[in-house]
Amino acid sequence: MSLTKFVHGMKWLPAFALAAGASLTAASSAAATDTRAADSTTATRAPAAGSQSVEDIYRAYRASIEDGTGAASASYATKRVKMIPAFARKYGLRCSACHTAWPELNSFGQQFRDNGYQIRNEKDSPIAQNNAYIPITVRVTPQFHVERATRQLVDATPGDAKSGQVERTLTSHGFDLSGMDLWTAGTLWKNVSFVALLSSDNFASFHFEAVSLRFDNMGDNPWLNLKVGKFELDNMISEKRFLFLSANGGSYQSYHFSAPGSSVDFGIGDNQLGAELSGHSLNSFTRYSAAILSSNDGDPGSNNFSSYDANVNFSQAFDAGKMGIERIGVYAYVGQRPTAFQTSDGQDIPGTGTTRKAFYRAGVAGDFFLHKLEFLPYYLHGNDNAYLASSTPSNSPLLDGARDASWNSGFLETHYYINQQLVLTQRVEAIRMSQQAFPDMPSTLGNVDAYSFGTRWYPFMFSRAGLAVHGEYALVKTVSPGQLPSEGATANIWTSSLLFALDFDF
């Protein structure tokens, strides 16, 4: 069956939701994230037992797009929390001391974080603090937002499922709330730091977004720090600390992309479970980290695969005089996923994953300042083994023509700091499939183009709390399977978000 015929023959599938489904149903960016996080255990798409057809793979891809878990185009905002007034209160420093514009870290904030949330002045241990000091931070974002998605399949006659389906552009808007982040972090003792971040959706359903314990400066050596728990990967450009909040702009597409048809659930922007060894020079200009991580994309209690991934990062900063600090880094993540399980009565037995196949993500990132102008370029090359890319158990033969899926993606984000209380932002991002899992898949299927711009204004700047007046517009184009006979094999879906928010943190 040709691809075009196959795609057009899939009308029985539920309406194609793609990004719109996620963005329209996601009442807020944080809620969308929380939903994703809560569902991610079940979203892990281990290949089905037995051989599959290309149709099965497409069906799975479509399904993944619908539930917003598998496609890069799924417009979910990332969990973002990392501005911590509790630290500012502890040390009496203004937010601006650690942040270019909170939550993004500046070079001093990076060093503070690398030191285990310590300034190393012999007053870091909680015993040196006033008894009344409790390191808790709350962040929540009341907002007004508009979400829009083109080419959504709807019944031609409302309420009449037999009336046939047509495409419409759907829009929703209204006042809303983000979820809430309840964050506590600090030191248990000198050189023993911790993080516990509970995040809720906008219905106050909480989950563990991050929980970790870190032994800092082991042997009084900043090159040796060990962290165990669930934590953000040491991405040089942190998605948890960036300056975008909307449903379509509030995540890096590159950090969550899955190739069409792939069973790999991994996102380099997702917090992961494992242990990380890291180190840095005294000024944190030179940094490294190496982590071993459970192959479960950071879902506690879901070690269904009993296998491990690895992540390494290295970056080097340079003092460029009046221009500022320039940093460049490289990274690589090598993961594996089983393609089959031991079974009992035909059901997979958790923890018995076998015949693992590999995937990897690798690339470079930069953080360059031209005085008040900051550029954040990022490049990623991704590759999924043919069995994973085609969702085929490796104890079954590959479908004809099945091969590795690979792609390149990247973005360029720009910040212009008018002053410490006002920043203008923009980001342009692209994902391009370089090789589909099957030769007859459209070469552009899954490609993404995204653009965001906005501004954040901080009306006040001191050491107790933070408020940002946030405005943002984000636009995403995704190349998706065609829906209707009038379309070709692919169709461009446009989704957009307009967000006005009061982002506060105490």
Partner 1 sequence: MSRVAYRIPSITASISFLLIAASAGVAQTIHGLPREGRGGDTKVNTRVGRPAAGKQEYTRYCAGCHGDHGDGVGENAQWIEPRPRDFTQAVFKCRSTLSGSLPTDQDLINTVRRGIVNSNMPQWRPLPDQMQADLVAYIKTFSPRWATEKAGTPVEIPPETPVTTESILAGRAMFQKFECWKCHGTAGRGDGPSASSLTDSKDQPIHPYDFTTGTRFKCGTTNADLYRIFMTGLDGTPMASFADNIKGDQGWDLVHYLRTLQPIRTPESILWKSWLATHASELKPIGPESGGR
CA distances from 155 to 6, 152, 486 (A): 22, 10, 16
Could you write out the DSSP letters of every residue in 324-393?
A: -EEEEEEEEEEEEEEEE--EETTEEPTT--EEEEEEEEEEEEEEEEETTEEEEEEEEEEEE-HHHHTT--
Give the angle subtended at the CA of 338 by the CAs of 334 and 344, to the nearest 5°: 160
Residue 205 main-chain phi, psi, to 5 deg: -95, 115
Query: In angstroms, what is the minimal distance from the CB of 158 to partner 1?
Result: 4
Query: In angstroms, what is the minimal distance from the CB of 167 to partner 1?
Result: 10
Q: What is the distance between the alpha carbons of residues 162 and 159, in angstroms, rounded to a whole number?
A: 9
Decide whether 112 or 244 has the Cβ nearer to partner 1: 112
Q: What is the distance between the alpha carbons of residues 429 and 239, in angstroms, rounded to a whole number?
A: 14
Query: In angstroms, what is the minimal distance from the CB of 496 to partner 1?
Result: 8
State yes or no: residue 24 binds partner 1 (CB under 8 A).
no
Query: In angstroms, what is the minimal distance from the CB of 163 to partner 1?
Result: 10
- Characterize the bridge pairing of strands 422-435 and 405-419: antiparallel
CA distances from 220 to 100, 137, 224, 309, 378 (A): 29, 29, 8, 29, 33
Binder among 58, 91, 359, 438 for partner 1 (CB under 8 A):
91
Mark the segment that binds partner 1 (CB under 8 A) among 105-113, 232-240, 249-257, 487-495: 105-113
State yes or no: residue 321 binds partner 1 (CB under 8 A).
yes
Binding-residue pattern over the window 391 to 420 for partner 1, x denoting contact by CB under 8 A: ---------------------------xxx
Residue entry with tokens 């040796």: 224
Binder among 41, 49, 94, 348 for partner 1 (CB under 8 A):
94
State yes or no: residue 319 binds partner 1 (CB under 8 A).
yes
Binder among 70, 498, 503, 505 for partner 1 (CB under 8 A):
498
State yes or no: residue 188 binds partner 1 (CB under 8 A).
no
Residue 478 · residue 453 · CB < 8 Å: no
Query: In angstroms, what is the minimal distance from the CB of 282 to partner 1?
Result: 6
Residue entry with tokens 């242990």: 275
Q: Which of residues 447-466 bind partner 1 (CB under 8 A)?
A: 453-455, 457-459, 462-463
Decide whether 89 or 256 has the Cβ nearer to partner 1: 89
Decide whether 122 or 345 has the Cβ nearer to partner 1: 122
Q: What is the distance between the alpha carbons of residues 500 and 338, in angstroms, rounded to a whole number?
A: 43
- Both tokens of 293, joined, read 């991580």
Query: In angstroms, what is the minimal distance from the CB of 267 to partner 1?
Result: 29
Residues ≥6 apart with Cβ < 8 Å to 284 = 107, 110, 111, 114, 317
Q: What is the distance between the alpha carbons of residues 5 and 151, in angstroms, rounded to a whole number?
A: 19
Kindly state the number of chain residues that form the binding site for partner 1, as judged by CB under 8 A.
59
Q: Which residues of 237-263 are buried (b: 16+ CB within 10 A; e: fewer)?
A: bbbbbbbbbbbbbbbbbbbbbbbbbbb
Mark the segment that binds partner 1 (CB under 8 A) among 119-127, 263-271, 298-306, 430-438: 119-127
Decide whether 106 or 406 has the Cβ nearer to partner 1: 106
Decide whether 170 or 211 has the Cβ nearer to partner 1: 170
Q: Which of residues 124-183 bind partner 1 (CB under 8 A)?
A: 146, 148, 154-155, 157-158, 166, 168-171, 173
Mark the segment that binds partner 1 (CB under 8 A) among 37-45, 92-100, 345-353, 373-381: 92-100
Helix 54-66 to helix 18-25 angle (10° resolution) is 30
Distance between terminal CA atoms of the chain?
58
Binder among 136, 312, 330, 424 for partner 1 (CB under 8 A):
424
Decide whether 7 or 499 has the Cβ nearer to partner 1: 499
Query: In angstroms, what is the minimal distance from the CB of 459 to partner 1?
Result: 7
- Both tokens of 491, joined, read 């169709």
Q: Which of residues 203-232 bind partner 1 (CB under 8 A)?
A: 220
CA distances from 335 to 272, 311, 364, 386 (A): 12, 8, 18, 14
Classify 184 as helix, strand or coil: strand
Mark the segment that binds partner 1 (CB under 8 A) among 55-63, 75-83, 192-200, 314-322: 314-322
Please, is 10 exposed, middle or buried when counting C-beta atoms within 10 Å of its C-beta (0-12, 13-18, 19+)?
middle
State yes or no: residue 119 binds partner 1 (CB under 8 A).
yes
State yes or no: residue 370 binds partner 1 (CB under 8 A).
no
Binder among 107, 191, 436, 495 for partner 1 (CB under 8 A):
107
State yes or no: residue 432 binds partner 1 (CB under 8 A).
no
Query: In angstroms, what is the minimal distance from the CB of 437 to partner 1?
Result: 33
Dump strand ranges (E) for 241-324. Answer: 272-280, 286-294, 308-319
Decide whether 423 or 431 has the Cβ nearer to partner 1: 423
Binder among 63, 93, 362, 412 for partner 1 (CB under 8 A):
93
Q: What is the distance between the alpha carbons of residues 458 and 240, in angstroms, rounded to a whole number?
A: 19
Decide whether 9 or 164 has the Cβ nearer to partner 1: 164
Tell me which residues touch partner 1 (CB under 8 A).
91-94, 96-97, 107-108, 110-112, 119-123, 146, 148, 154-155, 157-158, 166, 168-171, 173, 220, 282-285, 319-322, 324-325, 418-422, 424, 453-455, 457-459, 462-463, 469, 471, 473, 496, 498, 500
